[in-house]
Amino acid sequence: MAIDVILGLQWGDEGKGKIVDYLASDYDIVARFQGGPNAGHTLKFDGKKFVLHTIPSGIFRPAQKNLIGNGVVIDPITLSKELDKLRDAGVSFADRLFISKKAHLILPTHRLLDAASENAKGKAKIGSTLKGIGPTYMDKTGRNGLRVGDIARANFMERYQALKDKHLSLLEIYPPTDFDLEAEEARWMESLNVLRQLLMVDGEYYINEALKEGKKILAEGAQGSMLDIDYGTYPFVTSSNTISAGVCTGLGVAPSQIGEVIGITKAYCTRVGSGPFPTELHDETGERLRAEGGEFGATTGRPRRCGWIDLPQLRYTIMVNGVTQIVMTKIDVLNAFEEIQAGVGYRIDGQQTQLLPYDICDQDIQPIFEAHKGWETTLENITTFEALPQAAKDYVYYIEEQLGVKVSMISTGPEREKLIVK
């Protein structure tokens, strides 16, 4: 089994990019399998910071190949900006970055539809990143979409025009939205020329041939399992399968090829956008978590909602993903807290439960917390698990015991080397 998976166990931004970048050197290929530029994966090393949206987080490891799989939706404008930043930083990608021809394209009118649909929802809005994700996946499943491979076909402009016209007629049901379509379209067409210069492959053959040759592959998830289109807090979710099952459809590989499923969780919990979040804190402690953790979106800059870790929620996402090991990130954010809480159950209508209810969006869910002693000291310069303060070790042991899965790594800072392998 040669494909290991890294994915988020919460509502995104768990630190997937950092962990993928750290582990990438142990693999031959890093592949994104779903999502699109709604993702923002932050990497920090050698005093530099990069935020990747479409490009896999293995791109800074010079010997590794990177594949944008067919399950991803691509906005050529964002992609071309990301490539500019790589070029500026002197990172080569011409022979290392591959794009599956079957990946779908985000059109400017997909973004316009996203904005119009969110505006029309008023209070019920999803809090979308407005990158056109929902409308693009709708066209994919509705069998109207344009794919990367289509840009080389003779009838591409005709098909583009037909899809744009369809979008314009759909837009008539919405109030007008502030969006300079002409300017965006010009940028998009220009960016297609950048896309044309990249290595386009039949991603499913590319990956399966690599597997036959014994290559090791790391699949990089985007968003988090609680944003999965099927198992997340619907309708406050994204439009792709963010869970491990998405690897098979998003890369064209058999389930039997999947090896380790590495689930990432913060030592606490955040969410950006609307929707249920049972352990959210609306008080000073929540604000402290936001400040200590620098919890502002990597893609949109929005403040993230903050709260304590939610164990029933994690048990659920461990279950649907088949998680084999956990990486706990941002444990250093808790350094200053004299007391740390963990959500151990919910009270709904006076009843206690550890299960996420079907109607999670409509219920008044009261979290039940268990308190833990904080360590109230810096973790700076700690490089082994043994050297962690006892209270930090105890917190990790507690999480392992509660979840029934080993914590294999603990991240103590945003930089690449700030990682303890347990």
Q: Is 38 exposed, middle or buried, given 0-12, 13-18 or 19+ CB atoms closer than 10 A?
A: buried
Distance CA 287, CA 33 (A): 34
Beta strand 365-373 with 41-45 is unpaired
Out of 3, 6, 126, 269, which residue is the one contacting ligand IMO (CB under 6 A)?
126
Out of 23, 32, 332, 346, which residue is the one contacting ligand GDP (CB under 6 A)?
332
298 vs 399, which CB is nearer to ligand IMO?
A: 298
CB of 298 to Mg ion, least distance (A): 4
Out of 36, 37, 40, 76, which residue is the one contacting ligand GDP (CB under 6 A)?
40
Distance CA 241, CA 225 (A): 8
Beta strand 407-411 with 419-421 is antiparallel
Joined together, the tokens standing for residue 143 give: 């069998």
13 vs 75, which CB is nearer to Mg ion?
A: 13
List binders of ligand IMO among 81-120 (CB under 6 A).
Answer: none
Query: Which residues have C-beta within 8 Å of that of residue 267, sequence separation ≥ 6?
Result: 309, 328, 329, 330, 331, 333, 334, 340, 395
CA distances 36 to 6, 106, 241, 252, 364, Å, are 16, 9, 12, 17, 32
CB of 14 to ligand IMO, least distance (A): 7
Q: Which one of Mg ion, ligand IMO, ligand GDP, none interacts with residue 412, CB within 5 to 8 A by kind?
A: ligand GDP
How open is the CA angle 229-234-270, to the nearest 5 degrees?
90
Distance CA 234, CA 126 (A): 10
Could you tell me if 170 and 112 are in contact, meaning their C-beta atoms sit under 8 angstroms apart? Answer: no
Q: Which one of ligand IMO, ligand GDP, Mg ion, none interacts with residue 317, CB within 5 to 8 A by kind?
A: none
Distance CA 262, CA 244 (A): 10
List binders of ligand GDP among 15-34 (CB under 6 A).
Answer: 15-18
Distance CA 416, CA 394 (A): 25
207 vs 409, which CB is nearer to ligand GDP?
A: 409
Could you tell me if 137 and 110 are in contact, meaning their C-beta atoms sit under 8 angstroms apart? Answer: no
125 vs 373, which CB is nearer to ligand IMO?
A: 125
Out of 15, 22, 40, 279, which residue is the one contacting ligand IMO (CB under 6 A)?
40
Q: Does 14 bind ligand GDP (CB under 6 A)?
A: yes
Q: Which is nearest to 310 in space by CA: 254, 360, 367, 385?
A: 367
CB of 245 to Mg ion, least distance (A): 21
User: Which sequence positions are flagged as catalytic?
Assistant: 13, 41
List binders of Mg ion among 8-67 (CB under 5 A).
Answer: 13, 40
Q: Does 108 bind ligand GDP (CB under 6 A)?
A: no
Out of 2, 4, 13, 317, which residue is the one contacting ligand IMO (CB under 6 A)?
13
Q: Does 413 bind ligand GDP (CB under 6 A)?
A: yes
Question: Mask: binding to Mg ion, 281-310, rule CB under 5 A, as x and -?
Answer: -----------------x------------
Other beta carbons within 10 angstroms of residue 146's beta carbon come to 22
Distance CA 13, CA 38 (A): 11
List binders of ligand IMO among 212-231 (CB under 6 A).
Answer: 222-224, 227
Binding window for ligand IMO (CB under 6 A); candidates: 127-135, 205-213, 308-316, 378-386:
127-135
Binding window for ligand GDP (CB under 6 A); candidates: 151-159, 190-198, 327-335, 369-377:
327-335
Chain residues that interact with ligand IMO, rule: CB under 6 A: 8, 11-13, 38-41, 126-129, 131, 133-134, 222-224, 227, 238, 272-273, 298
Chain residues that interact with ligand GDP, rule: CB under 6 A: 8, 12-18, 40-42, 44, 294, 298, 329-330, 332-333, 411-414
